[in-house]
Amino acid sequence: MKILVTGGAGYIGSFMVRRLLEKKYDITVLDNLERGNQQAVDNRAVFVKGDILDDRFIKSLFKDDSFDCILHFAGYISMEESIKDPGLYFRNNTYGALNLIESSVKNGVKKFIFSSTAGVYGNPIKTPIPEDHPTNPTNPYGESKLMVEKILLWYSKIFGLNFVSLRYFNAAGASLDGSVGENHIPESHIIPLAIRAALQNSEFNLYGDDYKTPDGTCIRDYIHVIDLVGAHILALEKLQNDKGQYFYNVGTGEGYSNKEVLEMIKKISKKDLKIKITKRRPGDAEILIADPTKIGKELGFSPKYSDLETIVKTAWEWHKNNLKFKI
């Protein structure tokens, strides 16, 4: 099977490429390297530099090659940035995905796996959050992903495109040997930012301690990147066996507060943190915890590495050896 992985030079995409190659798939990586790192791309994959917003380029890519499935990771991911520049997110995340979806149906690609987000739910009315929970994003990032899900539904209905939309909760962690890890530009995730602060002995900004949670800080469900990649393999196998449209939460069903995360980083690093409490970020949901029942039952998904200690340990090992990439 020949697979196109967009955003394959990014954090999750580069982990995905390695796993697909281990499974003996034929992989082409598409990335514009604006926020990715070509060094992260496994040299066994074919690498193509290009932008999903470039209609002419996308048409030529599909004209010159054929694919059986697309795994689409090439999206911006910062809720905070999306509040400041919503157009950036609707152009790249929504219009860029539309370009790929259009090319899929025009060129006979019948399988599409989409990197979505728990941000489509907004502030939940019940927790843990099931897939049939109402969708009400609180920021343009979540909205841009929800719009793609709606596009996929229409293209499935009209053109027979089969897809899986994986709604990530909080991807985190690094490879178990600490050799590959998270290197977003810009970085907005609490674990890498707090680890960087610990390594540099700098101040860490904690956004809000007045939420209606036990310790006043946001609560999130964290999924180790290795487990997340495993969910994509199961989704791919699902599309190889069944036609249809599928939505799955990818999480553990357990949440940790920001303060709990920071305490774990202190424990693993054996360093103190200079924490500055600042105001909430606009659009931050209070509690996001997955109900992973559906993906467990239908795909057999069972996280192996997503306890908070393993996540932080692996992230710490990577960051302490790669601080030069983070400054």
Q: Which two tokens stand for residue 94?
A: 């929504």
Q: In what order do the strands lie in the sheet with 69-72?
A: 46-49, 26-31, 2-6, 69-72, 111-117, 162-168, 245-250
Name the nearest CA neighbour of 288 among 76, 75, 79: 79
- Paired tokens of 63: 């004209």
* DSSP 8-state assignment for residue 281: P
Angle (nearest 5°) at CA 234 between 28 and 65 = 20
CA dihedral (116, 317, 253, 139) positive or negative: negative
What would the two tokens of residue 203 be?
């101040």
CA-to-CA dists, residue 1 to 20, 24, 130, 166, 235, angstroms: 10, 9, 32, 21, 14
Angstrom distance (rounded) from CA 23 to CA 161: 24
Q: Give the C-alpha separation, 323 to 200, whole Å.
A: 9
DSSP designation for 286: S
CB atoms under 10 Å from CB of 154, counted, come to 11
Residue 33 tokens read as 């390297």
Concatenate the DSSP letters of all residues of 56-97 into one string: HHHHHHHHH---SEEEE------HHHHHH-HHHHIIIIIIHH
**Does 305 qualify as catalytic in the annotation?**
no
**The one catalytic residue among 11, 25, 76, 141:** 141
Question: Which residues form the catalytic set?
Answer: 141
